[in-house]
Chain A
């Protein structure tokens, strides 16, 4: 089914088809468009969700901890400071193994305050025990929201689906959505292992675990994360049979035989693909590796994908002050460090231009020094 939607609308559309038992919300730019759309689905009775308008993001996620522990399918969305404010409860959700799914519209963290896109919000949460999927466009946001929900429920691990603030969330794009019936069939019923509302089998959720048990609880989550890759593959195969759109944990764009590769996440990859096409036209072996699943991180798939690279530039849209930025860090963990250059771009919504990307490729080709900060003064 062809449609025209922004990234925010496509997230909301997927949520409408999922029709979660409980959705909680608190406004923050640029996420608000998701919840504005969802409020209309609620008003028009397209869903029968309990739609909770909470008094903060902290409470919005806390309510989902309560709802998900009670056997309800539970979703929310947020950005930037909202995600930072939820930080404490992110660990509660994953520690309690609650399959909450949350769309994140990436936005810079304060201060100075800034409403535009970078990845500092979700990158700050990369160690919180959530699955993290980064999307390039509105189509992918829609697809990954459906896939992410099934993945989260199968693994009993919460998931965040990222899209770039404004660039993806507010721009209209052509996309295809599944008919309601097929989407609902793909999602299936949520059958929780435990529920607070099971009065025959009372559970104590969120107990105190000290030196004797806490470690094992965290270890179980850590070990289970390794099984996410194969489960994702199974689910995306099923999704492909319905939607004819193929998803994998990484996207190798003309990178298999490439000597010069840029590694990046999210919407900037459209621009990089353009540059790769142009360079390939000139007979230059350029390529792009797009990381779609950042947590758990697919080290072996990445190292395999980069095995022919002579030079690599990693583009990070968030900084780790005084250390390698998050994506660069992981790429250096996947291939020999000496071929990897980490660059920072687009903080606070700063544009990255085609000429910037071409410069990066040219510097790799000519073996020139690569500046760490792109398009900055």
Chain B
């Protein structure tokens, strides 16, 4: 099992100099996940903030082989990389064992990339798929995605999003792959351990990681980890895993915090906290509690 010292001593595979915003979640997520893989690894990213800030030609933040092709096709692009590896290994042209990981945002996963992801999971392709989920199309300037939480302001939902989020983990699990987990950068050891498990899974595995976005969320840059922690403690972002048909809850608060504590940290939820939206707020709290109860049942917890 991976330990903190392994993470500290791991070679830097995603290096500084990239242009992500202060307080952005994904540099921590990407570094932690790559540090948890001991073998040579190839990364692929969907079009989005991560790819844009890290590969501005002629510079790159990737100290490992990296490919970006388009927005909706990262799972398909990686399918080709993995099978090229298999073909060339079969022919003795490659000797080393290698691992493969995709990073895509929620837009490139829940929406436009869902077909390619579903195809790859159904074929059980040998790679780890990481969705860094900040709950909107942040790269194009904060537009609603199907991962945007109900009530959140985006530039295309100026009055707040009407619908609840899509449940990506459920969709991934429905493909009957061996490993699906949620994670949050506030608990980096949990994230690293899950990444380690994902890399050692035979076939596809999916990690869905909350990725704080100060610009899109209207939050303070220094508060990103604190807000991620609140997301977990309010059960807005439960930490759980699905491993070979068994569910496990990784964090079960003695008393969950009120969702208001999470919402208050971000201006995107400002209007939800107005007195006239009390009912909507109650619905959101109810939805969180119901979903958590359902999850506890699946995990065999009380």
Q: Give me the interface of A with B, judged by CB distance under 8 Å.
A: 21-22, 24, 48-50, 52-56, 58-60, 62-72, 74, 88-89, 92, 196-199, 202-210, 213
Q: Give me the interface of B with A, judged by CB distance under 8 Å.
A: 40, 42, 44, 51-52, 55-58, 60, 62-70, 72-73, 75-88, 90-91, 93-94, 96, 98, 115-116, 118-119, 122-123
Contact A58 B72 (CB under 8 A): yes
**Also in contact, A207 and B68, with CB within 8 A (given A59-B116, A66-B77, A197-B98):** yes
Write the chain B residue with the least CB distance to A59.
B76
Extra 6 A-B pairs, beta carbons < 8 Å, given A196-B65, A196-B66, A208-B51: A65-B80, A69-B67, A69-B80, A197-B81, A204-B55, A207-B57
Contact A55 B119 (CB under 8 A): yes
Contact of A204 among B62, B78, B118 (CB under 8 A): B62
Contact A62 B90 (CB under 8 A): no
Instruction: Give the residues in chain B near A207, CB-CB below 8 Å.
Output: 55-58, 60, 68
Q: How many A-B Cβ pairs are below 8 Å?
A: 163
Instruction: Give the residues in chain B near A54, CB-CB below 8 Å.
Output: 76, 79, 119
Write the chain A residue with the least CB distance to B82.
A66
Which of B42, B56, B83, B85 gathers most chain A CB within 10 Å?
B83
Instruction: Give the residues in chain B near A48, CB-CB below 8 Å.
Output: 87, 90-91
A-B contact pairs, 24 of them (CB 8 A): A21-B84, A50-B83, A55-B119, A58-B76, A59-B119, A62-B73, A63-B80, A63-B83, A66-B82, A67-B81, A67-B84, A70-B81, A70-B85, A70-B88, A71-B88, A74-B80, A89-B70, A92-B70, A196-B67, A196-B81, A197-B65, A205-B65, A205-B68, A208-B56
Contact of B70 among A62, A69, A203, A210 (CB under 8 A): A62
Inter-chain CA distance A130–B70, complex, in Å, is 18
Contact B65 A208 (CB under 8 A): no
Contact A197 B88 (CB under 8 A): yes
Contact B69 A196 (CB under 8 A): no
Contact B80 A22 (CB under 8 A): yes
Inter-chain CA distance A48–B197, complex, in Å, is 31
Contact B73 A59 (CB under 8 A): yes
Q: Which 4 A-B pairs have the closest CB atoms?
A: A66-B80, A55-B119, A63-B80, A59-B76
Instruction: Give the residues in chain B near A24, CB-CB below 8 Å.
Output: 80
**Also in contact, A205 and B84, with CB within 8 A (given A58-B76, A62-B77, A63-B79):** no
Instruction: Give the residues in chain B near A92, CB-CB below 8 Å.
Output: 69-70
Instruction: Give the residues in chain A near B78, CB-CB below 8 Å.
Output: 66
Inter-chain CA distance A72–B69, complex, in Å, is 16
